[in-house]
């Protein structure tokens, strides 16, 4: 039985798009086509696969205005930020540039007696379950290297960004990628789980909630398919006494509030050395008060609505609980705050780790700020969390930042920046953030399997 998926626009709570889910039989047919097409796709020269992926990326870039407007309607990001093509293109282009070297055989010996080498073979059929918060950029992290490496790809996008999978496949198909090599599907949760459990996929990439990640792993149990996950986050910033205060405020608060706080590696808690604490809070509050909350289609809007009422409700509940436990808010309610998806960005002080606002993922425009007196205290607080995606350290001393980073339970350590994904570095996490290796050379290794050759010549 099929179901109707509805994308409810946060702009005005109207239904922006609907699609019917596939039946199990139709979903099986999609997988069968992908399986049948994979060997021929992998047999194409690597240079040809790279060129076709790059052409698909370029095709997406032909209408960034449509991308920005559709994203505003689907998940609320203001059009003034121009969509996601910059990061989308950067990631795909980098992965294309390193593909030949990353996928080259590792030659151990090539002598008169032996050829010993390790080759990389594609995993096979890859399922990408993509999130709504950065729907193009998160998808391309896996789609581009998977296709380049010789896999076929099936993408299932979040209901909140229902159109994005279609747009991606339309562009890549128009650029010459064969129809069965890259396919978009609309599936309900049960059908998705059943397909994974049946062994339909060789590799599953999931970005989303911890609960969703656990469901993927349970479904894949016993199939021996690889499941790569990027789940929750509660990323901290630590401002040391020698930090550039203005840069730290501007960058960390932007990292906390951009995209209405709905960033995988957004800043959700900040620890500031006591010598800078008062000045940091004062500057941070002044900055947030300049934000313009409103309709994301308005060029003057700097912070749009949250994507869904239930996401905003969780943020409001965390703030209310913190206030009841003694926290202090610093931003008066904006006139545009509708008690729904349009949510006043908020800064909290007098917070502790007994409050959910400093422990649980908020994924909204709110950040708690705490005073610390030493690196040891800051390290303990940063590690006091079930998640581990990124941390942002602010100091002029790179050696100190690296030494602190070595003690942190995280996937990426930033110094004097945050909320950025460098495609040359591995995108990964630990603890309840999940486990995976996206982008970089390691991304190609994850999307392929090693195959050893031990050839005796005489």
Contacts from 290-296 at CB under 8 Å and sequence distance 24+?
A: 291/257, 291/345, 293/334, 293/336, 293/337, 293/342, 293/343, 293/344, 293/345, 294/336, 294/342, 295/11, 296/11, 296/72, 296/76, 296/77, 296/78, 296/79
Indicate if 264 belongs to the active site: yes
The answer to whether residues 212 and 230 touch, using CB atoms and an 8 Å cutoff, is: no
Closest to 346 measured CA to CA, from 274, 268, 277: 268
User: DSSP secondary-structure letter at 111?
Assistant: S
Indicate if 230 belongs to the active site: yes
Candidate list 7, 263, 264, 265, residue with the active-site label: 264
The percent of the chain in helix, strand and coil, each rounded to the nearest 5, is 40, 20, 35
Pairing status of strand 182-185 against strand 152-157 = parallel
Candidate list 70, 230, 268, 314, residue with the active-site label: 230
Which residue in the block uniquely carries the two structure tokens 């109707």? 4
Q: Where would I find the beta strands (DSSP E) of 125-234? A: 125-130, 152-157, 182-185, 203-207, 226-230
The angle, 0 to 180 degrees and rounded to 10, between the axes of the packed helices 85-102 and 135-148 is: 20
Kindly report the number of other CB atoms within 10 A of residue 438's CB atom. Answer: 26
Kindly report the number of other CB atoms within 10 A of residue 244's CB atom. Answer: 14
Please count the CA atoms within 13 angstroms of the CA of 330 that sit on its side-chain side.
21
- Supply the residues annotated as catalytic: 230, 264
């Amino acid at each position: 039985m099929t179901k109707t998926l509805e994308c409810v626009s946060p702009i005005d709570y109207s239904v922006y798009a609907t699609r019917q889910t596939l039946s199990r039989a139709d979903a099986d047919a999609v997988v069968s086509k992908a399986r049948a097409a994979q060997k021929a796709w992998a047999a194409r020269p690597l240079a040809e696969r790279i060129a076709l992926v790059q052409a698909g990326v370029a095709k997406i870039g032909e209408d960034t205005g449509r991308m920005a407007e559709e994203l505003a309607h689907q998940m609320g990001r203001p059009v003034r930020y121009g969509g996601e093509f910059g990061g989308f293109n950067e990631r795909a282009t980098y992965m294309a540039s390193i593909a030949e070297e990353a996928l080259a055989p590792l030659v151990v010996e090539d002598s008169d007696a032996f050829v010993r080498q390790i080759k990389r073979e594609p995993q096979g059929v890859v399922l990408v379950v993509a999130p709504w918060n950065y729907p193009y950029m998160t998808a391309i992290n896996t789609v581009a290297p998977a296709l380049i490496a010789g896999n076929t790809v099936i993408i299932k996008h979040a209901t909140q960004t229902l159109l994005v999978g279609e747009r991606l496949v339309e562009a890549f198909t128009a650029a010459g990628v064969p129809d069965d090599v890259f396919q978009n599907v609309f599936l309900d949760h049960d059908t998705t789980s059943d397909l994974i459990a049946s062994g339909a996929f060789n590799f599953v990439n999931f970005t989303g909630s911890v609960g969703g990640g656990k469901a993927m792993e349970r479904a894949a149990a016993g199939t021996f398919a690889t499941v790569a996950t990027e789940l929750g986050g509660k990323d901290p910033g630590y401002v040391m006494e020698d930090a550039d205060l203005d840069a730290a405020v501007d960058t960390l608060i932007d990292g906390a509030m951009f995209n209405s706080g709905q960033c995988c590696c957004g800043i959700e808690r900040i620890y500031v050395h006591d010598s800078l604490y008062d000045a940091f809070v004062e500057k941070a509050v002044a900055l947030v008060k300049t934000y313009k909350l409103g309709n994301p289609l308005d060029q003057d809007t700097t912070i749009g609505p949250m994507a869904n009422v239930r996401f905003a409700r969780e943020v409001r509940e965390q703030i209310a609980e913190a206030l009841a436990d003694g926290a202090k808010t610093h931003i008066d309610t904006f006139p545009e705050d509708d008690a729904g998806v349009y949510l006043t960005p908020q800064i909290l002080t007098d917070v502790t780790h007994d409050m959910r606002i400093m422990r649980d993922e908020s994924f909204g425009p709110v950040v708690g700020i705490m005073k610390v007196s030493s690196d040891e205290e800051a390290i303990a607080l940063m590690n006091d969390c079930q998640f581990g995606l990124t941390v942002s350290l602010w100091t002029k001393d790179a050696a100190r930042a690296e030494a602190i980073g070595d003690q942190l339970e995280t996937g990426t350590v930033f110094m004097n920046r945050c909320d950025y994904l460098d495609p040359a570095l591995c995108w990964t996490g630990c603890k309840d953030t999940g486990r995976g290796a996206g982008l970089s050379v390691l991304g190609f290794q994850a999307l392929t399997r090693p195959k050893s050759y031990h050839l005796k010549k005489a």
